[in-house]
Structure 1
């Protein structure tokens, strides 16, 4: 008697399938980011890679403190740091939020809300602390009118980096909707929210 052949279930999804990309998106994105980092180390590609990694539009004139203005090259920097945001998002999800969610035994809908809220909480706490540090160091806290009286004016390194990260975070939220398997009925609303948030920061930033 011929024994029936057992069907072996392949737990690993096909390469480049939607499920494969979603499961391994952090590794894929980190590899893409590493291409830029390695490019910075190679003399031939340093000028190109530096546009994505280092802050551009330096307007320092015979001063010790570097000053920057906004410009079109900032979008390359925003793109690179949005990749970093995706990787950090995955790390926080896997090593922090997932561990808490397993203990809470949440339903699928509540789990999605918990993950989103957790990610935003981390981002807002870091942003608030960073903004406060900049406000103190640049004397905005003690002379709040400088925020509009000196506008537009060149930015310090940390202030420009802060804006870049804010833009990068909002940009990274768009592909994250795909990576997090957002429901179709919620996708448009959440994508619109991310685009609007990105525009609200980008418009005043680039109009400086």
Structure 2
């Protein structure tokens, strides 16, 4: 027996080398930042990447202990960069140890393979973010008091859990941009993924910068629940095409989530913020409660929801047409062949056209030579 040829590793710093080893390269960079904590000279720079910055100690009540609150600033860019590296590593771990093993068992095509990987990564993220968002809403009592969305604006200070939630959200959607290259996404799928990635980055960053983090968390939680249901249903569909009940529930919750988003947005920007005491525009105080900003935010949310509904309607119409075509083909194959009419049989016999299947047709006499 001959020796099997070993696969040659790609050249160093080539495209294939970077794609295959990007997780190791990113983990080395993250380890360098962590090692910076060991030395006094570099510790102050490493802390800026790892810990959440801009903490302020406040005493909310005389009876209670001081509370550490946070606001945003330019140093958050360094924190975003570090946790972007961490998310790239987690992305590679989920891909290698969970999704790749499932793909080997399912034997999917190339198109379904890429969609399966996309849904697997997003389902894990949406599940984690939904649970985290629900814990924030429970701790802050957002659901009990709807006026909490705009009372006391500008909401310049937030607890650690809320700020870290926003940093991880923005870092995740920013990491999705290089992942288009690392995962070798098809050119046909890149525009679609760029659309929703950019929408997430703009809306979440806007809520964070404009001090609308309360409204942002309230809107993200039901949206993530709907998206989690969709991608989980798609994963079950790829494993067994008969499992499509999840899409029906997703369609119902999708419409409800869009109506809830529009209702809370109009209530906040149209009725809540215009009636607060702090009116005006001030970058120092973090106050953006002016008509131009309010209408711009409301218009951006409404246009996004309208675009999502348009895509949803087109998706449902496409599925309905495919289903109707399948039903039509099944009926054609199941229906028996049409039998000839009695009049056609009599006309054929009168014209001398005799069929071998006709039992009433006379036999042809054999002519013998005497």
TM-score, scaled relative to structure 2: 0.52
The answer to whether residue 197 in structure 2 is matched with residue 194 in structure 1 is: yes
Report the structure number with the largest CA radius of gyration: 2
Higher RCO (C-alpha under 8 Å, 6+ residues apart): 1
SS in 2 for 1:149: coil
- For residue 46 of structure 2, the aligned residue among 45, 49, 52 is 49
State how far apart, in whole Å, the 2-side matches of 1:177 and 1:49 are: 28
For the pair 1:102 / 2:104, whether they are aligned, the reply is yes
Which position in structure 2 is the counterpart of 1:37?
Answer: 34
The alignment status of 1:81 with 2:83, answered yes or no, reads: yes
Any stretches of 5+ residues in structure 1 without a counterpart?
1-7
Cα distance in structure 2, aligned partners of 1:35 and 1:148:
42
Residues 151/104 of structure 1: CA separation in 2 closer, same or farther (3 Å cut): farther
User: Once structures 1 and 2 are overlaid, which stretch shifts more, 186-195 or 167-176?
Assistant: 186-195
1:137 matched residue in structure 2: 139
TM-superposed deviation, 1:66: 1.0
Counterpart CA distance in 1 for 2:154 and 2:34 is 32
Shift of 1:10: 4.9
Deviation at 1:71, TM superposition (A): 1.4
| Matching of residue 206 in structure 1 with residue 209 in structure 2 | yes
The CA deviation string for residues 101-131 of structure 1, in whole angstroms up to 9 with x for no partner, is 1111111110100010011101001000001
Q: Point out 4+ residue stretches in structure 1 off by more than 3 angstroms.
A: none
Which whole-Å deviations, capped at 9, do the CAs of 1:48-96 have from their partners, x for residues lacking one? 1111111111122356321001112111111111111100000011111
CA shift for structure 1 position 9: 6.4
Q: Within 2, Cα distance between the matches of 1:176 and 1:151? A: 37
Is residue 171 of structure 2 the alignment partner of residue 168 of structure 1?
yes
Secondary structure at the aligned position of 1:96 is classed as helix
- Specify the alignment match of 2:327 in structure 1: none
Looking at structure 2, the residues matched to 104 and 161 of structure 1 have their Cα atoms a distance apart, in angstroms, of: 37
Aligned-partner Cα distance in 2 for 1:141–1:83: 34
Task: Report the secondary structure of 2:24's partner residue.
Answer: helix
CA pair 111-57 structure 1, distance change in 2 beyond 3 A: same
Encode CA deviations 1:119-177: one digit per residue, 9 max, x unaligned. Answer: 11010010000011111112223223313324432110011000000000000000000
Is 1:60 matched with 2:57? yes
Q: Counterparts of 2:111 and 2:152 in 1: how far apart (Å)? A: 46
User: Residue 144 and residue 100 in structure 1: after superposition, are their counterparts in 2 closer, same or farther (change >3 A)?
Assistant: farther
SS at match of 1:55: coil
Counterparts of 2:172 and 2:14, CA distance in 1: 26
